[in-house]
Amino acid sequence: MLGIQIIAFIFCFCGLGAAIAATASNEWKVTSRASSVITATWVFQGLWMNCAGNALGAFHCRPHLTIFKVEGYIQACRGLMISAVCLGFFGAVFGLVGMKCTKVGGSDQTKAKIACLAGLIFILSGLCSMTSCSLYANRITSEFFDPTFVAQKYELGAALFIGWAGASLCIIGGSIFCFSIAENSNSPRRGYAYNGATSVMSSRTKVQNSVPDKTPPKHFDKNAYV
């Protein structure tokens, strides 16, 4: 039981770290490799900045100065990723409280309910991250395969794959946390009676009393009582 909770918490913690890394990354979409070979420059964009680099290793990033000029799908992805990170933080707190190795949280039944709540929060966090990355990727692929789209086309960046991996880890870890409450209810705690330590002499006496006496009975004649 404890080992399963530790594995689930590791999964969720790694998923939370991946969500934070994906949110802060600027490689949500990158320019097509074909155009990069011709021009020797490439552009990559994230939720917060637009960056450009060349073959000499020079990079220049420009943040989005105003929120009102940012496209709607980018704002939606921002909100979903921030929600995923916040939910993951609260899920980690509830997960630590609900684990059996911690001293806080009350009885085992209460800790199991808290662990189940942490699992639900992690699942919501993973769904938010998954939705954000999928929405952004859908916009990139629709523009890339649209023959009427004449502007710069982009490909999927590394941040999307990091976000998908983190979302999967959060969903898997949260599901394990939720199943841990069912395992806890199916395996009630057993009670053991303590009879106290017995002495060596008493144990020997019990053994001697349990062994039957196999010596034949002695017969005495009348002259033995004279």
- Give the pTM: 0.74
Task: Grade residue 39 by pLDDT with cuts at 50, 70 and 90.
Answer: low
Instruction: List Cβ neighbours of 1 (8 Å cut-off, separation of 6 or more).
Output: 100, 180, 183, 184, 187
Residue 205 pLDDT exceeds 60: no
Query: What are the Cα distances from residue 181, in Å, to 7, 111, 178, 186?
Result: 15, 9, 6, 9
* Nearest CA among 191, 14, 8 for reference residue 99: 8
Segment 87-128, tens digit of pLDDT: 999 999 998 888 877 777 778 788 888 888 999 999 999 999
Q: Three-state SS for 212?
A: coil
Report the chain's mean pLDDT, rounded to a whole number.
Answer: 79
| Domains of the chain, first to last | 1-25+71-186 (1.20.140.150)
User: For strand 154-156 and strand 29-31, is the pairing parallel, antiparallel, or unpaired?
Assistant: antiparallel
In this structure, the number of other CB atoms found within 10 A of the CB of residue 215 comes to 5
Would the pLDDT of 73 be above 70?
yes
**pLDDT value for 154:** 86
Q: Which range has the worst mean pLDDT, 27-36, 149-158, 181-190?
A: 181-190
- Give pLDDT, residue 5: 83
Whether 61 has a pLDDT exceeding 50, the answer reads yes
> What confidence score (pLDDT) does residue 214 get?
53
